[in-house]
Amino acid sequence: MGNWLAKRFAGGPVVPVLRFSGVIGQAGLGRKGLTLEDLNDSIERAFKTKKKAAVALSINSPGGSPVQSALIAARIRALAEEQDVPVYAFCEDVAASGGYWLACAADHIYAESASIVGSIGVISAGFGFTELIAKAGVERRVHTAGKSKAMLDPFSPEDPKDVERLTAIQEDVHEQFKDWIRERRGARLGEKANELFDGTFWTGRKAVELGLTDGVGNLHGVLREKFGEKVKLRQIKLARGWLQKRFGVNHGGEIASQVLATIEERAVWSRYGL
């Protein structure tokens, strides 16, 4: 066994690094954030890396779509279990809500002492414009087939029944989120695990005490400690097409749309003081 390991890691073990930075899912007005469709090739390339000792996730995300969070995390877990490879997650500025969901795809989670971690909850936010359009003399006309089709229309008075339906959906998604955290963190959460699921977020240092993370540390320091000074950290770059879709600016009306999308995305980050 010793000779096999020596040959396998000759010249130093390799740890491919996947970087997940940004809002998860649709970032606003058709602008894409992190989705499995765009990340799958990179995830597969990371797990196909030869002579790997582990796979590392570098996470800097305030959350977003619970569906995309679940899809990305499930893909990582499937490959990790298929290849029996440990996964390490490293939280940067923030790994909150869906960002923490992604972190829990790892077997071990680390964060900086001042990182923002947690926010295990579900949120839906919007605006109501009924008084505004009334003052402007605008008549709202909505025609539907299906009594709930116009649910939560921002230009109509809020219906308590609509809020009740939305709350039921949120609670369902919240339960799925909690089940995932319990599955991945298990006994590390301690006896007061349920107190962690109210949407509160903490610093990385406090997150260790609560069992949400396994220690304070950064990617380079922890992986060198685990695998030695000769460990090779191999960044797995995203496909160029994905970068173009995410950051490319086109002409015409798309520029205004991207400006608005950026404002909306910044609002998500600002929940955590960033």
25: left (phi over 0), alpha (psi -120 to 50) or beta: left
The reported pLDDT for the residue numbered 143 is: 74
Q: Any residues with CB less than 8 A from the CB of 105 and at least 6 apart, and which?
A: 57, 72, 73, 74, 76, 77, 80, 87, 89, 184
Letter for the amino acid at 143? H
Longest dimension (CA), the chain: 82
- What is the per-residue pLDDT for 141? 72
* Catalytic residue check, 149: yes
Give the CA dihedral 169, 174, 175, 180, nearest 10 degrees: 140
Q: Per the residue annotation, which of 65, 97, 115, 119 is the catalytic one?
A: 97
**CB 51, CB 8: distance < 8 Å:** yes
Question: What is the reported pLDDT for 256?
Answer: 45
Q: Is 3 helix (H, G, I), strand (E, B) or coil?
A: helix
Q: Which residues contact 214 (CB under 8 A, 6 or more apart)?
A: 108, 109, 110, 188, 208
Beta strands in 22-104, from DSSP E residues, in sequence order: 26-28, 31-32, 55-61, 87-96
Cβ distance 203 to 117 under 8 Å?
A: yes
Pick the closest to residue 223 from 90, 60, 49, 61 (CA basis): 90
pLDDT at position 59: 96
**What pLDDT does 251 receive?**
43
CA angle (77 as vertex; 238, 221 as ends), nearest 5: 65
Specify the pLDDT at position 48.
Answer: 95
Q: What is the number of other CB atoms lying within 10 angstroms of the CB of residue 73?
A: 21
Catalytic member of 149, 161, 230, 245 = 149
- What's the pLDDT score for residue 166? 79
Residue 235 in contact with residue 128, Cβ under 8 Å?
no
Evaluate whether 135 touches 97 at the Cβ level (below 8 Å): no
Instruction: Could you please state the CATH topology (level 3) that the domain comprising 2-119+200-270 is classified under.
Output: 2-enoyl-CoA Hydratase; Chain A, domain 1 (3.90.226)
User: What pLDDT sits at residue 170?
Assistant: 85
Strand-pairing partners, residue 76, are none
35 to each of 31, 80, 158, how far by Cα in Å?
A: 11, 19, 32
- Which pLDDT score, from 0 to 100, does residue 255 have? 44
Per-residue pLDDT of the chain (274 residues; tens, 9 = 90+): 445 455 554 568 999 999 999 999 875 544 568 999 999 999 999 999 998 999 999 999 999 999 999 999 999 999 999 999 999 999 999 999 999 999 999 999 999 999 999 988 887 766 666 777 767 777 777 777 777 776 777 777 777 887 788 788 888 999 999 999 999 998 999 877 788 898 898 999 999 999 999 999 999 999 999 999 999 999 998 764 444 455 444 444 444 445 445 555 655 656 655 5
Contact 70/101 with Cβ under 8 angstroms? yes
Which of 68, 63, 69 lies closest to 123 in space, CA to CA? 63
Radius of gyration of the chain (CA): 22
Strands 87-96 and 116-118: parallel
pLDDT of residue 6: 52
Query: What are the extents of the domains in the chain?
Result: 2-119+200-270, 121-184
